[in-house]
Amino acid sequence: MSKAMRQMPERTGRVCVAHGEAVRYPISDEAGDPLSEHRDTGSAKLKVGTGGLLEAALTRENLQVAWKRVKANKGAAGVDGLDIEHTAQTIRRHWSEIRQELLAGTYRPSPVRRVMIPKPDGSQRELGIPTVLDRLIQQALLQVLQPLIDPTFSEHSHGFRPGRRAHADAVKAARAYVQSGKRVVVDVDLAKFFDRVNHDILIDRLRRRTDDAEIVRLIRAYLNAGIMDGGVVSERHMGTPQGGPLSPLLANVLLDEVDKVLEARGYSFARYADDCNVYVGTLSA
């Protein structure tokens, strides 16, 4: 639903719950403890042609940075009840087997744990909290995917993008539109967007941006992992619950199509996740 207003919006989008940052790392075939510090750990560009994106995501260097990000974001345990410390112990004991399952395409993500948090308007937002292990894997995937995918997004998209000031940049763009005379604001809020994402359409849009079948297959497994509420796991055939590191990137993959349509029609707009403001000069526009 959308509505027109003759004022500048106080808020252009929502504050993210947790997100990651993109970095690039070299390919490595190390399959040992990925959490132990390594003297070669550090930022470096992804080496093209030496392996697939999934292998790049699972290097020790990439995983160490992903683990630091997951620890920094803290957060509650998932359906397995394991916190950061206990998950670290599990990873150190079983990483070799987990890595092999990931590379073989047999890894099955755990369901996310359903949590409802209040919103300022009195309604509630659904979060899906992955296990700490799955947050680590998702963050590792994000770090190799985001440098490839993010540059293809619209300049009018401000939410969950590395190197941007997110909300501040969206507000700055909004002020510039208003100062240019476009004082009528159409506030577009895609209600329940995250709950209604069509998995098939999302995967199709993702394939247009990466042809890495292993990565796409694993992301599909995360979309289909299900959600646990009150001890009962329900299958999900649509939706991408907020709460995992990959969720914001996947949302932008899908919503970038909206951005491109608005650009093609010449509209001035600013989008932050599933909130979008379109600026026009008159009500008739």
Q: What string of pLDDT tens digits covers the 285 residues of the chain?
A: 444 444 433 333 333 334 444 443 333 445 667 887 544 433 334 444 446 999 999 999 999 999 999 999 988 999 999 999 999 999 999 999 999 999 999 999 999 999 998 888 888 888 899 999 999 999 999 999 999 999 999 999 998 888 887 778 888 999 999 999 999 999 887 767 877 889 999 999 999 999 999 999 999 999 999 999 999 999 888 888 789 999 999 999 999 999 999 999 999 999 988 889 999 998 876
pLDDT at 225: 93
pLDDT at 157: 93
pLDDT at 37: 59
Q: Name the H helices within the chain.
A: 53-57, 60-73, 84-104, 132-149, 167-179, 193-196, 199-207, 213-223, 247-264
Instruction: State the Cα–Cα distance between residues 202 and 194, nearest whole angstrom.
Output: 12
CA end-to-end span of the chain, whole Å?
Answer: 17
Task: With CA atoms as reference, report the closest residue to 22 among 131, 161, 130.
Answer: 161
Q: Residue 78: phi, psi to the nearest 5?
A: -90, -155
Instruction: State the Cα–Cα distance between residues 260 and 135, nearest whole angstrom.
Output: 30
Instruction: State the Cα–Cα distance between residues 132 and 246, nearest whole angstrom.
Output: 13
pLDDT at 188: 85
Instruction: State the Cα–Cα distance between residues 7 and 35, nearest whole angstrom.
Output: 50
pLDDT at 165: 79
Instruction: State the Cα–Cα distance between residues 285 and 282, nearest whole angstrom.
Output: 5
Chain CA centroid to CA 267, Å: 26
Question: Cβ atoms within 10 A of the Cβ of 102, count?
Answer: 20
Q: Is 128 helix (H, G, I), strand (E, B) or coil?
A: strand
pLDDT at 228: 94
Give pTM, 2 decimals: 0.81
Residue that has been written with the tokens 């646990």 in this structure: 228
Identify the burial level of 52 via C-beta atoms within 10 angstroms of its C-beta, where 0-12 means exposed, 13-18 middle and 19 or more buried: middle
Instruction: State the Cα–Cα distance between residues 179 and 133, nearest whole angstrom.
Output: 48
Q: Is 244 helix (H, G, I), strand (E, B) or coil?
A: strand
pLDDT at 274: 84
Torsion of CA 82, 85, 88, 94, to 10 degrees: -50
pLDDT at 163: 80
